[in-house]
Amino acid sequence: MQDMLDTQFNAQLDHHGINFKTLSDEERVEAIRWNMLALQDELHEALAEVGWKPWATSRHINREAYIAELVDAWHFFMNLLLLVDATEVELRRGYFEKRYRNNKRQAKGYDGVSNKCRECGRALDDPAVVCTEKECKS
């Protein structure tokens, strides 16, 4: 799997002739915006391939089309990571750290509300959050 991610990241670096590493901050922010919107759109397209609506009776999954839309989404997701120069190692480490933190939260009866900054709503047990119970520093 590690080689696959490295290979995909390297292939994605040459995305439509855009070199993510040479973008100005302004260009990078704009690229993040349109990649985020494109990712959301692809996820909506994937959802359209599933009979998810509780008011409808269909519970179909158009598997091939669903996978194809998620592959499209993966391209935009990788772009978002590459735009901030994220590495495969950071992604892997971040995944397992977050998974551990989520499992710990669930074991303690996580309610999704407690232990969050009252102003910005970020989880206080997230290492990237600089807020405290007394002060929002976002």
The answer, as to whether pTM is greater than 0.85, is no
Q: Rounded to 5 degrees, what angle do the CA atoms 79, 137, 83 make?
A: 10
pLDDT at 16: 66
User: Residue 76: exposed, middle, or buried by beta-carbon count in 10 A (0-12, 13-18, 19+)?
Assistant: buried
Q: What is the DSSP string of 3-54?
A: HHHHHHHHHHTEETTEEGGG--HHHHHHHHHHHHHHHHHHHHHHHTTB---T
pLDDT at 30: 95
Quick: pLDDT tens for 42-82: 999 999 999 999 999 999 999 999 999 999 999 999 999 98
pLDDT at 4: 76
